[in-house]
Amino acid sequence: MGNILVVDDDRNLLELLKIRLESAGYEVIAVLKEEDAIEGAKNQAFDLAIVDLQLLRQDGISLMEELHLILPEMPVLILTAYGSIENAVEAMKKGAYSYLTKPFDPQDLLFQIERALENRRLNMEIKRLKGLLEERYGFTNIVARSEKMKKVLEMVSHIAKTESTVYIHGESGTGKELIAKAIYLASERKHKSFVAINCAALPEPLLESKLFGHEKGAFTGAIRSAKGLFAQAHGGTIFLDEIGDMSLAIQAKLLRVLQERQFYPVGSEQLVEVDVRVIVATNKNLENQVKQGLFREDLFYRIHVIPIHLPPLRDRKEDIPLLVEHFLEKFGQQMKKEMKGLTPMAMQRLMLHDWPGNVRELENTIEYAVAMTHQDTIAENFILQNKNVAISEEPLKPLKEAKDSYEKTYLIHLLETCGGNVSKAAKLAGKYRADFYDLLKKHGLKSEDFKKSQ
């Protein structure tokens, strides 16, 4: 559950907090004095600290900073008296996770604690994964702010080390290949080869000899024998992209490789044994293909071992601002232009678009804008000009769904504009803080994800 350090000079409140948190299942160390807090943090790695802003000798912010020197990853919740919001905002700028105004609602307290712990857990997991990737390859190019994508990365880090076949499913341009490479880089096989092939790009006979190799003279033009990709990937990983486009004949051969790890090259009677990890990707609904008899059911179950679904970009619009930043940097560097960002109107256009081509379409949009602009801030006339952004290409949704979808887009844009500052955002939206939090919760958004310091 987690152990929590509570620091408050109000003995009664301290006692109350301890009882409440303990009954919620947390382990609690409650101290009155700053030096005891520091001492405690030196002896024990707390998962979270709750610190009163007005302490006896020190203010809570400087105590928080000292605690962060010892435990840099520990989220801190600040308790403030009513009317000292400015100090609380100051605390957040200096690295507090969030704050609560006294007297606070016990439900709210537990809710914030849970969120802080969940967020910390996810961040640590992502850091671990990124560390793994960076360690060898300086691989920092996966952007994940939405809960959905964080879960994907968490999943990647869990399954990378296994030998199981991974099935990546998602619309075109959602990042399937990127994730396949991430799995490979985080796996034990990272020192061995990674071989990728797009099964839709080659006609059947060519694909077969490409995958399994062929003997000299196996077909016209086979003037020498050739090793196939499966043999090249021996000891490593093979990535079969667009597996839904594979013909039934090759599917049968692939099934055998997956079952027995062996195959015959085209025109050869020499059985080849391989040790490969298989990652497949598809943008088709393979269950439907199976029903229509276009995809072997037995093969489907063989490959559908660890499914990873990459959500379309329109369902995780909170990733857009970070992706934009990422691509601005990438293309800015490539084109030797110092890019600062987008105008609010330009960002709004991006947020309102439905992105049928997903991340790839966004990437192309930013590449185009960076190439076209003469300024360091991209204006809206460089964004999606040839597309009618307001009119969706999707079929009309029921009103409630359309409203919800607009509401989420609006909130993301608002949080982005306010740098994750809830008070400011709530004020701009004309909502009470509590109602605003409810709205965020409804859409699975977290204000802290929009803080600039991230």
Ligand X SMILES: Nc1ncnc2c1ncn2[C@@H]1O[C@H](COP(=O)(O)OP(=O)(O)OP(=O)(O)O)[C@@H](O)[C@H]1O
Of the candidates 290, 323, 303, 391, the residue with the CA atom closest to the CA atom of residue 174 = 323
Residues 190 and 208 sit within 8 Å (Cβ to Cβ) = no
Strands 262-263 and 272-273, by their bridges, are antiparallel
**Interacting partner of 178 out of Mg ion, ligand X, none (Cβ under 5 to 8 A depending on kind):** ligand X
Nearer to ligand X, 75 or 311 (CB): 311
Q: How far is the CB of 328 from ligand X (least distance, A)?
A: 12
One residue of 150, 326, 349, 408 binding ligand X per CB under 6 A: 326
Stretch that binds Mg ion, among 45-53, 169-177, 329-337, 406-414 (CB under 5 A): 169-177
Q: How far is the CB of 50 from ligand X (least distance, A)?
A: 34
User: 271 vs 218, 231, 330, CA distance in Å?
Assistant: 15, 11, 46
**93 binding ligand X? (CB under 6 A):** no
Task: Tell me: cis bond preceding 103? Omega within 30 of 0 counts.
Answer: yes
DSSP string, 47-95: SEEEEESB-SSSBHHHHHHHHHHH-TT--EEEEE-TT-HHHHHHHHHTT
CA 366, CA 417: separation in Å to the nearest integer? 19
**142 binding ligand X? (CB under 6 A):** yes
One residue of 65, 177, 325, 354 binding Mg ion per CB under 5 A: 177
**Interacting partner of 132 out of Mg ion, ligand X, none (Cβ under 5 to 8 A depending on kind):** none
- Region 153-182 residues binding ligand X, contact defined as CB under 6 A: 170, 172-178
Nearer to ligand X, 176 or 189 (CB): 176
Q: How far is the CB of 53 from ligand X (least distance, A)?
A: 38
Task: Spell 65-78 as b/e; 16+ CB within 10 A means b.
Answer: eebbeebeebbbbb
Q: How far is the CB of 341 from ligand X (least distance, A)?
A: 17
| The token pair that represents 312 in the structure block | 């379309």
Residues 379 and 356 sit within 8 Å (Cβ to Cβ) = no
How many residues of this chain interact with ligand X, rule: CB under 6 A? Answer: 18
**Interacting partner of 305 out of ligand X, Mg ion, none (Cβ under 5 to 8 A depending on kind):** none
SS3 315: helix
The residue to which tokens 């964080």 are assigned: 150
Stretch that binds ligand X, among 56-64, 95-103, 136-144, 368-376 (CB under 6 A): 136-144
**Interacting partner of 71 out of Mg ion, ligand X, none (Cβ under 5 to 8 A depending on kind):** none
Q: How far is the CB of 134 from ligand X (least distance, A)?
A: 15
**Interacting partner of 222 out of ligand X, Mg ion, none (Cβ under 5 to 8 A depending on kind):** none
Nearer to ligand X, 90 or 177 (CB): 177
**311 binding ligand X? (CB under 6 A):** no
Mask 361-390, x = binds ligand X (CB under 6 A)?
--x---------------------------
Task: Spell 207-220 as b/e; 16+ CB within 10 A means b.
Answer: bbbbbbbbbeebee
**Interacting partner of 385 out of Mg ion, ligand X, none (Cβ under 5 to 8 A depending on kind):** none
Greatest CA separation for the chain: 89
Residues 143 and 326 sit within 8 Å (Cβ to Cβ) = yes
Nearer to ligand X, 141 or 334 (CB): 141
Q: How far is the CB of 143 from Mg ion (least distance, A)?
A: 17
Helices 399-417, 320-334: axis angle to 10 degrees equals 50
Which distant-in-sequence residues (6+ apart) come within 8 Å of 187 by Cβ? 160, 161, 237, 277
**360 binding ligand X? (CB under 6 A):** yes
| The token pair that represents 1 in the structure block | 């559950």
CA 13, CA 36: separation in Å to the nearest integer? 17
Residues that bind Mg ion (CB under 5 A): 176-177
Residues that bind ligand X (CB under 6 A): 141-144, 170, 172-178, 283, 323, 326, 359-360, 363
